[in-house]
A and B are shown apart, each in its own frame.
Chain A
Amino acid sequence: MPEGTESAGERKTATVWDNVLRISMREAGVAIALVIIVVFFSATAPYFATPENFLKIFVQIAINTVLAAGMTFVILTGGIDLSVGSVLALCTVVGATIMVREDLSPWTSIPLALLACMATGAACGAINGWVCEKWKLPSFIVTLGMLNVASGLARVVSDNSTITGLPQPFVDFGNQIYFGVLPSIFLIAIVVVLIGWFILRFTVFGRFIFAIGTNEEAVRLSGHNPRIFKIAVFTISGLTAGVAAMVFLLRLNVGSPIAGIGYELNAIAAVIIGGTSLSGGKGSIIGTLVGACILQVLATGLQLLGAEDNVKPIVIGTVIVLAVVLDTYRNRLLRNLEAR
């Protein structure tokens, strides 16, 4: 609350306006952008505002949302994970290989595949984090290495071929739609986001993630070991890549060593558009969910407007940069508001 010499009336209006600004400048800012984009396409693009279209969008954002949720943890500590796309590919072939085995009943193989996917992903992530911390390397380099290693492993495991013939109950669950517009895989993504939100917001671990992203040295000198937490965030990112691999299998019913190419970049884009700072310490996982929505809504909306396929990436690329540009203004505004 500003304490100044202005008259009470002026101060009150200023405060209300400040609070509106402050709230809209934080997480809500991205949500407002999403609403504007949805309203715009609903008004201009034919078929955009139909349940079928929303269903399609929900199906399409599921994988990216799960990956981006894990990525948010890494970026909040100031790191980056470029390996999630090919770790996802590795996990799809691992999961598919288990599920197509004739000797296991679907009720054994499906949970087993889920566990194997999560374990594989978490192991890749843990290796990323451990190598980064052990030799004090930038995560950009280490995860770039893992991107290639996991991709190669995926080819080895799958013998360079796609794996099809997943069990019928699994395929059926992937096609399930609740309440007419909510596909099962979207619900999985929402559950992942909610778990992530809970961890970041309500746990000691979450507090450390923000603190490390804000000032790692201060955390170390406060008597903690930041390395453990940094290894943990990469493990989480790998774990979500494993979950995303299951979502991928549910949606496309095929395990493939060439799945997930470029997915890491979409995930990073969603995190950044969602307002998480690449230098760490600031951001939210709800923002990431909204960021993923913005990316997909733009893609679908442009398509329905009849934009050429070549135009779409141009618009989306511009939006990513624009989001970060706006973020710098937003931070300046917020700082001014808080200094008052």
Chain B
Amino acid sequence: MTTDFKETAPGADPVAIAERDQDHDAGPILKLQGVGKRFPGVVALRNVTFEIERGEGHVLLGENGAGKSTLINLLGGLFPPDEGSIWFNGAPYHPASPFEAFSKGIRVVHQELNLLSNLTVAENLLFEQLPSRRGLVNFREMNRRATELLAEVGLDISPSTVVSRLGVAQMQLVEIAKALAHESKLLVLDEPTATLTSKEVDRLFEILHRLRERKVTILYISHRLQEIYEVGDRVTVLRDGQHVTTRPLQGLVIPDIVRLMVGRTVEDQGVFREDIQPSDEALAVDNLRLTETSPPISFSVRKGEIVGIAGLVGSGRTEAVRAIFGADPKVAGTIRVGGHAVTIASPKDAVAAGICLMTEDRKQQGLLLDMSCAENITITDLKRLSRWGLLDRAAENAASERLVASLRVKTPTIFHKVGTFSGGNQQKVVIAKWLYRGSNALICDEPTRGIDVGAKAEIYELMGRLAADGKGILVVSSDLPELMSICHRILVFSNGRIAGEVPRAEFDQNRILSLAYEEYGRARGN
């Protein structure tokens, strides 16, 4: 397919293209050999080996935390692998920066959009190489090329529109148009359809089809399992940082794929407390709506019960618990604590009612990193330590010492800054501050993220102890085996609604994962 767009694309010098194409016409476009990547506390990728053929549509699948994002970021030049090697277009590939990845011909469209919102669509589209003459931007040329690119993705907007005025779906299409602006050999799309309507999705597939005729290789990541058949020839499944399989999509049905993705076996470390019998209602949510159009959410947690919330990242789990806690606004819904309806307009109301939220991001939202362990613990209730507004430090220290000892927080003294603590110890401080407050309904969002195995086991044990004390616990986690080992039942979120509830007797990774993907299929099917 030849378009004048191709001829005007920068870097599309015909001689250079001929040379590149000639050199390596045979062999895979991308080859990963024993690739590994570690982050503090987690192994994100382990010995991953697979190939992507030149010109194919390749689908990358895996559960939350399977290592998809890490892999994309390696390709996009955000960080290098710790082990193994990557070959791109027949040559070793070690990009030092996203720009280098881009100039070598790999274009990554990230899930979270990276547009410069105060600039125009045209400026964004051609940002890497603005058409210019003697250092001045050639606006006419820029807008002409931008118009072509927008037509390519079927977006009917003026190139001089400021990006911040676009809707999310339009921004997504601008991102894709941006990827088309420069001839790339490998186009990586991370969840490109998450915000698109079915008409726009069809348009996207059309574009991808044309790109493949032009011999552009596509690496495609999506939660919507139905649509991958339209994009891909082959699929690679990652699980828990490891490569599971790379095989043709043909003949593979969705239940097979889910089975391939299903994670580790559940190692029941005996953390589930069989002895606890859940009693009265601790926390109940009735018809909670985050926006006027979002589906209502209802569920309840009993005293002594640990309820898990599973679902894909972005399925509305975190948004729901933040709204319950009053951290974000909601438009409707009743919340009951211990059987009594409470009005929650802010975290202050929630805390007063006995609800606490251990946020997903403990460093940015949970802790005062530059302050001491004791100060972090008592911040939830300073009134109890004061008289006439004066702090009773002796009481503060005694209370902190007691919690530090009971939760086995490893710190030389309670006066050390929590910023220097390990992830596991920081999480214990977060738990300690809510125990100090005496909350009865505990909501934990990703309580073990980035924590090593030993500390995880301690946190599970601690949750069991709290449940035994009669607290109601709600745990949001991307780690399905974790939820299956500690919870009485699991609520599965899918695309903003609760797709199902699975009691402990029926725990099954296949079933839970199918539920998590359920609503995404329907959204596409109309």
User: Which residues of A pack against B, CB within 8 Å?
Assistant: 1, 3, 202-208, 210-211, 214-215, 217-225, 281-282, 338-339
Within 8 Å of chain A (Cβ to Cβ): is B189? Answer: no
Q: Chain B residues near A281 (CB, 8 Å)?
A: 368, 370-371
Within 8 Å of chain A (Cβ to Cβ): is B40? Answer: no
Task: Given A223-B437, A282-B370, A338-B420, check contact A217 B351 (CB 8 Å).
Answer: no
- Closest B residue to A223 by beta carbon equals B351
Within 8 Å of chain A (Cβ to Cβ): is B364? Answer: yes
Q: Chain A residues near B479 (CB, 8 Å)?
A: none
Are B368 and A218 within 8 A (Cβ)?
yes
Q: A204-B391, A223-B352, A223-B437 are in contact. List 7 more A-B contacts (CB 8 A).
A: A1-B412, A203-B389, A204-B389, A221-B357, A221-B359, A222-B347, A223-B380
Q: Contact flags (1/0) for B340-379 with A, using CB distance below 8 Å?
A: 0000001110111000110100001111111100010001
Are A215 and B367 within 8 A (Cβ)?
yes
Q: How far is the CA of A202 from the CA of B392 in the complex (A)?
A: 8
Q: How far apart are A14's CB and chain B's nearest CB, in angstroms?
A: 15
Q: Chain A residues near B382 (CB, 8 Å)?
A: 204, 207-208
- Closest B residue to A198 by beta carbon equals B390
Q: How far apart are B114's CB and chain A's nearest CB, in angstroms?
A: 24
8 residue pairs of the A-B complex, CB under 8 angstroms, read A211-B368, A214-B368, A218-B366, A218-B367, A220-B347, A221-B365, A281-B368, A281-B370
Are A211 and B420 within 8 A (Cβ)?
no
- Closest B residue to A210 by beta carbon equals B371
Of residues 378 to 397 in B, which have CB atoms within 8 Å of A's CB atoms? 379-380, 382-383, 385-386, 389-391
Q: How far apart are B417's CB and chain A's nearest CB, in angstroms?
A: 6
Are A219 and B379 within 8 A (Cβ)?
yes
Are A217 and B365 within 8 A (Cβ)?
yes
Within 8 Å of chain A (Cβ to Cβ): is B203? Answer: no
- Closest A residue to B359 by beta carbon equals A221
Q: How far apart are A319's CB and chain B's nearest CB, in angstroms?
A: 26
Within 8 Å of chain A (Cβ to Cβ): is B499? Answer: no
Q: How far is the CA of A282 from the CA of B356 in the complex (A)?
A: 28
Q: Chain B residues near A3 (CB, 8 Å)?
A: 412
Q: Chain A residues near B375 (CB, 8 Å)?
A: 207, 210-211
The 7 closest A-B pairs by CB, nearest first: A223-B351, A214-B368, A204-B382, A204-B386, A203-B389, A214-B370, A222-B380
Q: How far is the CA of A223 from the CA of B366 in the complex (A)?
A: 11
Within 8 Å of chain A (Cβ to Cβ): is B327? Answer: yes
Q: How far is the CA of A208 from the CA of B385 in the complex (A)?
A: 13
Of the residues A204, A217, A224, contact of B364 by C-beta under 8 Å? A217
Of the residues B348, B359, B385, B420, contact of A223 by C-beta under 8 Å? B348
Within 8 Å of chain A (Cβ to Cβ): is B416? Answer: yes
Q: How far is the CA of A220 from the CA of B416 in the complex (A)?
A: 23
Within 8 Å of chain A (Cβ to Cβ): is B433? Answer: yes
Residue in B367, B369, B379, B383 with the greatest tally of chain A CB atoms within 10 Å: B379
- Closest A residue to B437 by beta carbon equals A223
Q: Chain B residues near A339 (CB, 8 Å)?
A: 420
Are A338 and B347 within 8 A (Cβ)?
no
Are B416 and A203 within 8 A (Cβ)?
no
Are A218 and B348 within 8 A (Cβ)?
no
Q: How far is the CA of A222 from the CA of B357 in the complex (A)?
A: 8
Q: How far apart are B345's CB and chain A's nearest CB, in angstroms?
A: 11
- Closest A residue to B357 by beta carbon equals A221
Q: Chain B residues near A220 (CB, 8 Å)?
A: 327, 346-347
Q: Chain B residues near A211 (CB, 8 Å)?
A: 368, 371, 375, 379
Of residues 288 to 346 in B, which have CB atoms within 8 Å of A's CB atoms? 325, 327, 346
Q: Contact flags (1/0) for B488-510 with A, using CB distance below 8 Å?
A: 00000000000000000000000
Are B350 and A223 within 8 A (Cβ)?
yes
Are A338 and B367 within 8 A (Cβ)?
no
Q: How far is the CA of A225 from the CA of B385 in the complex (A)?
A: 18
Residue in B347, B420, B433, B437 with the greatest tally of chain A CB atoms within 10 Å: B347
Q: How far is the CA of A205 from the CA of B380 in the complex (A)?
A: 13
Are A222 and B379 within 8 A (Cβ)?
yes
Q: Chain B residues near A215 (CB, 8 Å)?
A: 364-365, 367-369
Q: How far apart are B358's CB and chain A's nearest CB, in angstroms?
A: 9
Are B366 and A338 within 8 A (Cβ)?
no
Q: How far is the CA of A205 from the CA of B389 in the complex (A)?
A: 7
Q: Chain A residues near B346 (CB, 8 Å)?
A: 220, 225
Q: How far is the CA of A225 from the CA of B389 in the complex (A)?
A: 17
Are A203 and B390 within 8 A (Cβ)?
yes
Q: How far is the CA of A214 from the CA of B352 in the complex (A)?
A: 23
Q: How far is the CA of A223 from the CA of B382 in the complex (A)?
A: 11
Residue in A1, A203, A207, A225 with the greatest tally of chain B CB atoms within 10 Å: A207
Task: Given A210-B371, A211-B375, check contact A223 B347 (CB 8 Å).
Answer: yes
Q: How far is the CA of A214 from the CA of B376 in the complex (A)?
A: 11
Q: Chain A residues near B370 (CB, 8 Å)?
A: 214, 281-282
- Closest A residue to B362 by beta carbon equals A218
Q: How far apart are B32's CB and chain A's nearest CB, in angstroms?
A: 36
Task: Given A219-B379, A225-B348, check contact A207 B391 (CB 8 Å).
Answer: yes
Task: Given A204-B389, A207-B382, A223-B348, check contact A338 B417 (CB 8 Å).
Answer: yes
Residue in A210, A214, A338 with the greatest tally of chain B CB atoms within 10 Å: A214
Q: Contact flags (1/0) for B383-415 with A, using CB distance below 8 Å?
A: 101100111000000000000000000001000
Q: Chain A residues near B368 (CB, 8 Å)?
A: 211, 214-215, 218-219, 281
Q: How far is the CA of A49 from the CA of B347 in the complex (A)?
A: 57
Q: How far is the CA of A339 from the CA of B356 in the complex (A)?
A: 30
Q: How far is the CA of A127 from the CA of B348 in the complex (A)?
A: 24
Q: How far apart are A302's CB and chain B's nearest CB, in angstroms?
A: 36
Q: Chain A residues near B327 (CB, 8 Å)?
A: 220-221
Q: How far apart are A237's CB and chain B's nearest CB, in angstroms?
A: 19
Q: Chain B residues near A218 (CB, 8 Å)?
A: 364-368, 379
Of residues 5 to 52 in B, which have CB atoms within 8 Å of A's CB atoms? none
